[in-house]
């Protein structure tokens, strides 16, 4: 039993190592080309080359994160104006954020999801994930309403805003485990 788990750990570590092998090669090329004792400008150029490569590889995740942060900031800025117009602002905000989170995770899953295997297998797995995401969404709304009856003021808005990143964190683990 322990032998099988060690073998699985070795396979997982080799997968993780493959992801960073190309960046390691870039670092070694930089050290081998004389940048180790070279000019400050050469070192800066090499660092910016590594940063640009990392950003280029993960551009979609950065764009989706910026969109999510801008929506969160917009909701925070216009909270008082909206509160005067809509009395049930916390429910509207929670459902809007959950809708945006669902769209973001669907985009991330379809872009970076498991591309191997046949389409039926991927589709069945995605249906399980979508069901689990819906259950987590429903649980977060129910817990938020329970919290509304027990807390007031700033603590209430803090708890409601805290449930969003916790929900996203659990959804990310859900997508990794089932997929």
Q: How does pLDDT run across 27-79, given as a tens digit for each residue?
A: 666 555 544 456 888 888 888 888 888 877 777 777 767 776 776 666 666 65
CA angle 43, 31, 22 (to 5 degrees): 100
Report the number of secondary-structure helices (H) and strands (E) in the chain. 7, 0
In sequence order, the 6+-apart residues with CB closer than 8 A to the CB of 101 are 68, 164, 167, 168, 171
Which pTM does this prediction carry? Answer: 0.31
Mean pLDDT by 10 residues, the chain (179 residues): 53 59 65 57 84 79 72 63 60 64 66 56 60 66 63 68 72 62
């Amino acid at each position: 039993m322990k032998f099988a788990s060690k073998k699985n750990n070795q396979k997982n570590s080799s997968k993780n190592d493959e992801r960073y092998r190309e960046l390691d090669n870039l670092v070694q090329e930089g050290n081998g080309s004389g940048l180790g004792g070279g000019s400050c400008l050469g070192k800066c150029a090499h660092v910016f080359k590594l940063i640009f490569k990392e950003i280029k590889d993960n551009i979609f995740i950065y764009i989706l994160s910026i969109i999510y942060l801008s929506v969160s900031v917009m909701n925070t800025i216009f909270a008082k104006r909206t509160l005067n117009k809509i009395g049930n602002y916390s429910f509207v905000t929670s459902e809007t954020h959950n809708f945006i989170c669902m769209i973001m995770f669907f985009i991330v899953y379809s872009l970076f999801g498991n591309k191997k295997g046949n389409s039926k297998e991927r589709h069945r797995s995605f249906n399980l994930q979508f069901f689990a995401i819906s259950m987590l969404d429903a649980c977060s709304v129910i817990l938020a309403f329970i919290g509304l009856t027990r807390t007031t003021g700033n603590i209430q808005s803090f708890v409601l805003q805290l449930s969003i990143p916790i929900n996203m964190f659990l959804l990310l683990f859900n997508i990794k485990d089932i997929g």
